[in-house]
Amino acid sequence: MTNYARSAWRELISPLFRRPSLVQLAGLCHRTGPDGLEVLLVRSSRGRWILPKGWPIEGLGGAETALQEAWEEGGVSDGKPAKRALGHFQTVKRDDHGAEMRCETHVYPIEVRETQPDFPESDQRDPTWVSINTAIGMVEERGLKDILAEFAEAKAGKS
């Protein structure tokens, strides 16, 4: 292949075949329970334990979107989201037809003050509060496990 052809492939043609990752925003909802730090997990549509998360919402920033998702999927009616994401992790999302898409999920800590039993997706989700160590064992995504462990360590350092 000539230098011109290589350059054209690298700079013009190859980028057309690479799609950027999709982005979702998640809320790492936390509170102090009777036994210490607890986090909120919800069941995904495929039955896995995850953080409340969703696609960006027009007109809302990342933290506000994460808080909205925490309400819709977990019943968080009063929470204070951090202005900046704690971190992000990569996942592969599958649509109803089995197509796979790369997705980058940005995680915003949300200090939860109050929850409600009746919320928009209460018939589809199974929100549960668990210790952070239990949560690490329940979630499947390696990157989410790492973020939960990092959050636990940061919280322990502040105590």
pLDDT at position 154, please?
Answer: 92
Mean pLDDT across 118-138: 95
Three-state DSSP at 7 gives: helix
Structure token digits, residue 78 = 């009063």
pLDDT at position 51, please?
Answer: 98
pLDDT digits (tens, 9 = 90+) for 41-58: 999 988 999 999 999 999
Contact 138/49 with Cβ under 8 angstroms? yes
Q: What is the pTM of this model?
A: 0.84
- CA–CA distance, 65 with 67 (Å, rounded to integer): 5
Q: How confident is the model at residue 74 (pLDDT cuts 50, 70, 90)?
A: very high
- CA–CA distance, 83 with 80 (Å, rounded to integer): 9
Three-state DSSP at 16 gives: helix
- CA–CA distance, 23 with 20 (Å, rounded to integer): 9
Candidates 24, 58, 28, 60; CA nearest to 145 is 28
Question: Is it the case that residue 26 has pLDDT exceeding 90?
Answer: yes
